Structure 1
């Protein structure tokens, strides 16, 4: 299949998934549907004023809501990329040097065009390499001073892999023993909480700073927040302004985040359990990473060629009007394919054994 044919297949798959009446993934809604819902949410939540430059109105309500969830002060940011660069910048400035450690699969290194190095002049060490969750032992082999250690919960590019809470706590303590700031990339902290088995305030307490996202598991439009102590957040607000993060209005994003916290957050444990049921029902010919999903997102590997599998996927999606698998791509190992699945509300109306059977039928 040549490049034009592959592009056409990908576009047809995308259209078929959006057109499906049912989906195991987070639901697709048109802009008009989203904006209609936000208007209704403003009435339901009693929001009658706009925020101004990240203050007042729904942004203030969102910060108060998240602060109550984590038991610590919170500051809103328009993006996670900005929030995490700010957090590491503050820790580096406080330490008086630029050396920080994070997994080589960290989102900052894989997906953000090297922004942390280029914009914040950080010297980055690899805390771990590959599909490994960081522990105290990984920190112990990095000599010399570090301004900060970043841990991504979960490590998305490893199949949303998580440490145990005990491992996380031990690593945090190791950082404190060496005077290193401990920062948690919690873009999917909501989805991680069931596996960690602790309430959000207990998870937040292990970190000097914590980033959370409002658009991933919560289904918001955009936006993020930093959790930390008041002195840290005062510096964060200053850097947010310096970096152009105090937009005139972010009311739509804040309202969407409030809706996600109200409507989606309580259902995330059900999404995780459904994901585990699906993984358990898949045949042995399909490798699940991790074997028992830690969150509602995980990877599938199998023998096959992407074009063949995706051609069958397109036919099955159109025939059933059911989006049950993302497109597959070539895996690192020749002759194998991989896809990432994220379970959303629609999955709860489907039988995981049935979906497992449909996925198995895609493969040779």
Structure 2
């Protein structure tokens, strides 16, 4: 997208009176006022201090309860939480080798931080848009310090393993004596796929990271849940990495609000996503996974991404509606793709109407 089109897109998006995907727009003032109202509604009347007490402690207790784990620790970011978890597991096992999907966030979006900061050596648990199975772990050479499974695999369209596949992977990890950590950034959104309690899901792994700003619409923040001794050591790494900010209360309050208000809606988000996906395929678009496993999935169109971007800008300027996110060239020549993420904003729209908008923008 050239500079002129980018500026048109920015202005058109700003002028739109409604959006469909991700969360409804809020100004910083609106978001902060919502946090203040949530603090009053939740009865939060004291600040945390360096991640101790107050709303931070409440979030940690709530997450541990939801996931059925002995303890949880609040982190300002998921990057920090996961690196801390893997560092503790690897220090305990005496090996820096970590089995990990090649599409993992740690490899794709962290500027080589895990290797540079902690010296991890990564073995590919899977390659490409597939989920990990027991045999994938068993085929790796002995001596792993830990294994990571991403639930769901976001860069594969939020792909999830079946329940039996996940249970078999868990059993294999325990047979091999390999600590199994879950990147559960979107575990809240994944739970409806299996129809299991969160604690039953988390019981299949030794530790799990969860995010608060994605489906739960928190300001920021994450938590790491697991055994008490693991979490205690991870807290030490949180301090070493600068994660014990003087006050984390605003983030913790927004996390508590998300758990109360958004968590019960995850099934509705996923159902709306499946309805939209069915409508999109009727218009000649491709979706993956089909049907979607969570509220998030990928859409493919036989078109050039630049042409789709031009049509999207023209649509927004005319209709004052932002009907989809950004598009990029896929690995297949002549095919563009985009990601769909369904939250509250989408529920205000008819999936059939959104699919028609989508097709107009994507296919012309």
Would you say same fold, with TM above 0.5? yes
Matched position secondary structure for 1:226: strand
1:249 pairs with 247, 250, 253, which one? Answer: 247
Structure 2 residue 226 is matched with structure 1 residue 228: yes
2:290: which partner in 1? 291
Give the structure 1 partner of residue 312 of structure 2: 313
**CA displacement 1:324-351 (0-9 Å, x = unmatched):** 2112111111111111111111211211
Match status 1:58 vs 2:59: no
The residue aligned with 2:301 is: 302
The aligned counterpart of 2:93 is 95
Which residue of the partner structure matches residue 204 of structure 1? Answer: 202
Which residue, 8, 11, 17 being the options, matches 2:13? Answer: 17
Aligned match of 1:341: 340
- How many angstroms apart in 2 are the aligned matches of 1:266 and 1:272? 12
Give CA deviations for 1:220-242 in whole Å, capped at 9, x if unaligned: 11110001011111111111111
Please give the secondary structure, in 1, of the residue aligned with 2:262: helix
SS in 2 for 1:54: coil
Which residues of structure 1 form unaligned runs of 5+? Answer: none
Q: How far did 1:71 drift? A: 2.0
Q: Give, in angstroms, the shift of residue 46 of structure 1.
A: 1.0
- Take 1:108 and 1:211, find their aligned partners in 2: how far apart are those partners? 13
Q: How far does the alpha carbon of each residue in 1:162-196 deviate from its partner, in whole angstroms, 9 at most, with x for none?
A: 10121111101100001000000000000011112
Deviation of 1:266 (Å): 1.1
In 2, distance between residues paired with 1:150 and 1:67? 20
**3-state DSSP class of the match of 1:225?**
strand
Partner of 1:143: 141
Q: Name the CA distance, whole Å, in 1 between partners of 2:100 and 2:106.
A: 9
Give the corresponding residue for 1:67: 64
> What is the RMSD computed on CA atoms of the aligned residues?
1.3
CA distance in 2, matches of 1:148, 1:10: 43
1:43 aligns to what? 40
Output the CA distance in 1 between the equivalents of 2:230 and 2:29. Answer: 39
Are 1:101 and 1:126, in contact at CA under 8 Å, matched by a contact in 2? yes
Q: Is the CA contact 2:216–2:255 (under 8 Å) kept in the aligned structure 1?
A: yes
Indicate the residue corresponding to 2:30 in structure 1.
33
Distance 2:110 2:316 in 1: 32
Check the 8 A contact 1:172/1:182 in 2, yes or no. yes
Spell out, residue by residue over 1:38-94, the C-alpha distance to the aligned partner (whole angstroms, 9 max, x if none): 111111111111110001111111112212211222111111101101111111111
Distance in 2 between the 1:209 and 1:152 partners?
A: 12
Shift of 1:317: 2.1
Check the 8 A contact 1:74/1:226 in 2, yes or no.
yes
Contact 1:13 1:327 (8 Å CA) reproduced: no
Q: Contact between 1:165 and 1:197, CA under 8 Å: does it hold in 2? A: no
Q: Which stretch has the larger CA shift, 265-274 or 310-319?
A: 310-319
Count residues with an aligned counterpart. Answer: 360
SS of 2:180's equivalent?
strand
Whether contact under 8 Å (2:269, 2:344) holds in the other structure is yes
Separation in 1 of the partners of 2:8 and 2:249? 34
Deviation at 1:322, TM superposition (A): 2.0
Q: Distance in 1 between matches of 2:130 and 2:10?
A: 32
CA apart distance, 1:22? 2.0
| TM-score (normalizing by structure 2) | 0.96
Query: In 1, Cα distance between the equivalents of 2:254 and 2:12?
Result: 26
- 1:284: how far off? 5.7
Superposition deviation, residue 14 in structure 1: 3.7
